[in-house]
Structure 1
């Protein structure tokens, strides 16, 4: 993990300072005067003067950096610019170079994973939703560990496989729902997760979750397990209300079933189930406010 501030300190600042020290020396300032102007030691100025400090070509060759160095050097050399003004001018340029520019590119070079998230801009943009997206994926990882470490969960996986999903707060499509790519499967009695949670990889369970939300349920996570009467009965006995729906209904059966719930008798985590249809495997869905709540409900089945 590398912060943009580290890139500024390690990659930009040594080159910028050496350029500025060089420009000030060209204007007749002594090493002592350069050190005072830049707020650094004379030994540091000496290192800059003798080329003992590594410099980034990308910074050296940037015209905006070169122009600022000349401008600041002129101001400091003549006394027309204070150190505070010089700092402000440099800070303004640094902020510009961070925003999808030179420093953002150096940041992505130092941390290639940023390319998957549109780099620096989304990390520092509170409206980008990146932080929320990563929180959803983290929530799923933690819940999946609890689920797959639970003895007996593999026996609850239906023939079509299970998936644990969680959505963004304002989810409107499957692309806003994170889940397990390829689904959770039973491999020799062990629940196996084939990959790290991703957005847009679960169409079926994600659509169940979205339908429940359209029906008025304040839920953000869902998990499908196999159906039998005892599973539903045990979940009800644990305090989770259960709703049956018809998978062959012509409209949106889950949305209609959820919308029909008694508003005075609603648990935050609840169950939707169907007993099968033509070519349709019976399935139980557990839905809740987050992945951890859903896993907690399912784990009540494992101690029975």
Structure 2
């Protein structure tokens, strides 16, 4: 029987494995090392690298598969235990059961109604998933050697919301923000309701495609890197305003378009800042990497 989990295992997982294998191989890992990490044969790794092409049915899920693969690559490079990689993959499966494109692809694959996906989720705790996902991404962020130079005077925060958040209690973030201790970034474990400013931005935007945000410093070098990164950038007008007014203005930008980053050039009493947005924390980190690449 073609269940959603069979679709995940037989169709989606090979596409993720192939992308992970290609990225690791391009970064100097041998096929043997990749095979050991992924728990497959070296011959299969060779096939993933040289001959595999994802089936057409996965075309609408390309970005999701790319995000999952790049998140796994980051964790593999940090030496994450295999059991934790498995947990992350399984969590992604349950998250995709909420994804309309995944459910449509499953429907095409199985010939069964796509709403089966949603019914499977009745026992999944969304809040725990959000905390765990943000915690993993935060750990990667804190180990990023380039990140300390991007922390603004007001400090950074990393926030991730439930789908369609109703208030700041539906947004997980870092209590007290991300700060520097002896030149290294430090953060407390994420909690729901721990942020007001970044959380309110996500609440006001309230778009399933914009559930995560990270703020970094602004500067001419950052703006130039943003332009070179190929990301979609919006810019607020310079001027004195309150935090609430800033939140409202940023949310207004998302009424017509989805932006990767928003530049707030600041004003009297307002520190310049850049907000990086994404579907999830890994999407934000991917965009941060693009910016860092051009700094």
1:1-80 to 2 correspondences below 5 Å = none
**Cα separation, 2, equivalents of 1:278 and 1:230:** 22
TM-score for both structures, normalised by structure 1: 0.51
**Structure number with larger C-alpha Rg:** 1
Pick one of 217, 225, 241 that aligns with 2:232. 241
Conserved 8 A contact 2:163-2:208:
no
Q: Secondary structure at the match of 1:273?
A: strand
Unaligned 5+ runs, structure 2: 1-120
1:204 aligns with 197
Pick one of 127, 135, 147 that aligns with 2:129. 135
2:255 aligns with 259
Give the superposition deviation at 1:260. 4.3
Count of residue pairs brought into register by the alignment: 170
Conserved 8 A contact 1:150-1:299:
no
Pick one of 160, 164, 179 that aligns with 1:166. 160
Give the superposition deviation at 1:174. 0.4
Pick one of 271, 282, 299 that aligns with 2:272. 282
2:175 aligns with 181
CA, structure 1 residues 128+182, in 2 after alignment: closer, same or farther (shift >3 Å)? Answer: farther
**Cα separation, 2, equivalents of 1:302 and 1:238:** 9
Deviations 1:82-130 (A, max 9, x none): xxxxxxxxxxxxxxxxxxxxxxxxxxxxxxxxxxxxxxxxxxxx6687x
2:23 aligns with none
**Cα separation, 1, equivalents of 2:229 and 2:278:** 14
Conserved 8 A contact 1:178-1:200:
yes
TM-score for both structures, normalised by structure 2: 0.53
